[in-house]
Amino acid sequence: MQEFEVAPDPADPRLTRRVRGVDQDGAPVDASIVVERPLTLFLNGQEIVTMMTIGDHPEWLAMGYLVNQNMLRPGDEVTGVDHDEETESVVVRTRARTDFEEKLRRKTLTSGCAQGTVFGDLMERFDDVRLPADAVLRTSWLYRLLRKINTAPSLYLEAGAIHGCALCEQDRVIAYMEDVGRHNAIDKIAGFMFRRGMGGGDKIFYTTGRLTSEMVIKCVQMGIPILVSRSGFTAWGVELARRAGLTLVGRARGARFVALAGEQRILRDADARDVAEEDRNHRRKGAARDE
């Protein structure tokens, strides 16, 4: 099976910029920084939202945003997705007519670091999702996934100030995407899955961000039964994961992790003592840019 069908491209000149500054001693330094730009999303003739994004994969970001806002449902026929770099806009066209004027009047600012927005009822469809009870997370898969993701070339290591999300199957990374907000990164993967007609029942989702209510809700809506993060939890995120039957694994670094929901899916088939600790020097490059 092909690995990393989609991966970050830190060499893409559109995504980072070199800026001259000074360090703590006043010495000149050149810093690589992430570029963010606006992207206005239209669904048919209706303006939905303007997002701040790094600008890669605008079509997937647009469709994934609509999927996670319940504006685009399984079975909806997308007749076109047009991205215009000059006007910084993307238009998604569907065969069926759409009108979300009332839904757009109700919005919730999420706990994402870049303040994502959820329109309408935050819990719409949440309780209707049934995640597969027979899904499993082998610790051998988890340890291999963590190593592959953490050592892959990325904008995080190049410039910091970025979040990453990965769609995985067993110990294979299918798609790894980054953005200034974790909500954008997860929406890109939702759009990738929608475009390919890909189900989430046999998938594992990884994020570098906190396990908040927003991350849990979106993961459940995507039908993915296992959510893993190198970061920590929020109380509502844990409560919602338990309510939905989602396996929630946080603080996953090296051989260490904590599961606060759905721990019955975890099969311990690898000895944690045989797993190397995370290479802190490797991650330090990106982390130092975020401090």
**What's the rounded Cα separation, in Å, for the pair 110 and 21?**
33
Name the burial class of residue 7, with classes exposed (0-12), middle (13-18) and buried (19+) by CB atoms within 10 angstroms of its CB. middle
Residue 67 lies in a domain: no
| Residue 208: band (very low, low, confident or very high) from pLDDT cuts 50, 70, 90 | very high
Residue 223 has pLDDT above 90, yes or no: yes
**Span 40-52, average pLDDT:** 94
Residue 115 lies in a domain: no
**Tens-place pLDDT, residues 57-94:** 999 999 999 999 989 988 899 999 999 999 999 999 99
| 141: CATH | 3.40.140.10
**What's the rounded Cα separation, in Å, for the pair 76 and 210?**
31
Residue 162 lies in a domain: yes
**pTM summary value:** 0.88
**Tens-place pLDDT, residues 129-160:** 999 999 999 999 999 999 999 999 999 999 98
Q: What are the C-alpha distances in Å from 19 to residues 13, 29, 32?
A: 13, 8, 6
**What's the rounded Cα separation, in Å, for the pair 219 and 221?**
5
Cβ neighbours of residue 68 closer than 8 Å, sequence gap 6 or more? 186, 187, 190, 218, 221, 222
**Tens-place pLDDT, residues 153-166:** 999 999 989 999 99
Q: What pLDDT sits at residue 20?
A: 97
Residue 108 has pLDDT above 90, yes or no: no
Residue 114 has pLDDT above 50, yes or no: no
**Span 31-54, average pLDDT:** 95
Q: What are the C-alpha distances in Å from 139 to residues 25, 106, 174?
A: 45, 41, 18
Residue 227 lies in a domain: yes
Q: Pairing mode, if any, of strands 37-43 and 28-34?
A: unpaired
Q: Where are the alpha helices (DSSP H) in 73-230?
A: 101-104, 139-151, 155-159, 182-196, 213-221
Residue 83 lies in a domain: no
Region label for 55, one of left (φ > 0), alpha (ψ between -120 and 50) or beta (otherwise): left
Q: What pLDDT sits at residue 281?
A: 54
Residue 103 lies in a domain: no
- Give how many domains the chain has, as a whole number: 1
**What's the rounded Cα separation, in Å, for the pair 80 and 287?**
39
**Span 234-247, average pLDDT:** 97
Task: Please tell me what DSSP assigns to residue 101.
Answer: H
> HSE on the CB side for 24, CA within 13 Å?
0
Domain that holds residue 195: 137-290
Contact present, 212 and 190 (Cβ < 8 Å): no
Residue 261 lies in a domain: yes
Residue 149 lies in a domain: yes
